[in-house]
Amino acid sequence: MRNILRCIGIVCLVSTLAGCFSSTSPEEVVLVDKKEEVPMVVSEQIHELLRYLTNRDGYLKDSVLLTEYSLMQEFYEKNGYHPIWSEADHWKPAGDSLFFMISQATSYGLFPSDYHHPILLEIRNKIILDSVSRKNAALWARADLLLTDACWKMAHHLKYGHLNRDSITIRKDSAFTDEEKLNLLGSLHRNGQVQTMLNRLEPKHKGYQELKKGLAAFLAKANFQPVESIQYPATDSMAFVQQVGKKLKAMGFLDSSWVAGDDSLVFAKAVKKYQSSKGIITTGFVAQLTVASLNTTDWDYFKTIALNLDRYRQLPDTMPETYLWVNLPAYQLEVMDYDTVALQSKIIIGTPKTPTPVLNSSITNFITYPQWTVPYSIIFKEMLPKIRKDIQYLAKENLMVVDRYDSVIAPETIDWNKVNKNSFPYLLRQRQGDDNSLGVMKFNFRNKYSVYLHDTNARGLFSRDNRALSHGCVRVQKWEDLSHFLVRNNEIRYHPDTIRALIQRQEKKTIGDFPQVPIYIRYITAAGADGDIRFFPDIYEEDKRLKERYFASKSNNP
């Protein structure tokens, strides 16, 4: 009996030791003297590492996580645990190519640290510079698994980006399936065309390609080191101008020979050029917004570019032949027709307190001489205090009170002091005409926010640089051109003169017998232009929110 218990104890001890061994960190140095034996030992090391990763939920070290360890186990097991990226004591061309792409990840708006770049660089330097390290099978095994994990992650980011799928993501797919990942790795293992295959995953959208082209120029002159901040307000005006000039010269907006005290017109021209490139009102004077922009580091600008590349990655692989593209921070609407800009117009958008939503929809119809039904939010937040103060406010704003049967109610019969959200069974409507807030045309598209495109009775506002002025709807400067474009294929019935006649007669008419045109309202704060990048203001602080969520931990040493 004593012997049986002793045997049971030994078995338990062996089992415990085996369990401990499987979770013990694998050897970091396993030297193989004979070159021909390296592949076999590397395969054994890969097998051991995968077992270790399984017991550690993918953590190679506390700070190194291989998220796809279970899928790796499946692929490497089918492949006999042979390495994918190396051969004997040297890298395969595919391994070199993938490491190069990881090192240059910033050129794709990605972050090298996401793909194990620091540890891969350390391993690579050891193997290239040290003949003993080239015999270390454990080093080759670790590099292989790290590269595989990096390959899958980079493929995902190139096609889908970092942002989570949301209501405006048009892609039907939002992530690679396990089968797609295995097929991708298998193809790369067979043909070695790493850069070609990964580049194919990028969006083909023109805006993406132009922004990426501008990114190359940005990176060529970017300085990711900490920079001196300009203090504002300044106590020494000459020193202030000198500091601003130094930054403008470093960014190429001011000639390097310029010094403080030289031609002030040259300095103002450089300031205007800088302000225009950053979406700031072009005054030529350096005030708070311009100083804040000058104090923004290149690293932060890079994150802005990366964020906007990711926004393009939310689009489908193929866009419709014809669509409306509304970019809120640029205050601009474009009509795209067969990859050509058929129409471009200034727009006015919602204020930061009443932002215009990003959305996808389709233009269904447009109305000449529309009536404006005032949203309850505007009635109770803005109009009610003014009505209580002076009931003539309604007449001055061309507003009428109507009930649910569209019958006009005399405003004097209502006790406005007792009106609240629960005791107001009426609507406020603005009579159609030149004084109507919608102007003389309104474009409808289905959406849950009750917003639309429309003309305006305050057309002078289009001359402003800052046009975040509306309650959420989008006012279009070239509304007439847009209406002509929508009915362009039915000129017999809707000749431009026909629409103009309707407006001249002040006739209300709904026109909807044309193919619906998709509309995409987007928030793009960095756009490529002539090989450079133009930045637009983060009006609604969406960039700030998303950077904090996705990029806060990214190192500024790419």
Distance CA 345, CA 331 (A): 9
Angle at 179 between CA 186 and CA 147, to 5 degrees: 45
Please, are residues 49 and 61 in contact by the beta-carbon 8 Å criterion? Answer: no
**Cis preceding linkage at 375, omega within 30:** no
Distance CA 221, CA 203 (A): 25
Map tokens 């001489």 to a residue. Answer: 369
Catalytic residue among 116, 157, 454, 471: 454
Q: Which residues contact 545 (CB under 8 A, 6 or more apart)?
A: none
* Terminal Cα distance for the chain, rounded: 66
List beta partners, residue 91: 86
Note if 495 is an active site residue.
no
List beta partners, residue 534: 527
Angle at 550 between CA 545 and CA 555, to 5 degrees: 115
Distance CA 84, CA 243 (A): 53
Catalytic residue among 82, 473, 484, 495: 473
- What tokens were used for 75? 């692929």
Q: In this structure, how many other beta carbons lie within 10 angstroms of the beta carbon of residue 36?
A: 8
Q: In sequence order, which ranges of 337-473 are alpha helices (DSSP H)?
A: 376-378, 384-389, 393-396
Distance CA 459, CA 476 (A): 9
Note if 454 is an active site residue.
yes
Write out the catalytic residue numbers. Answer: 454, 473
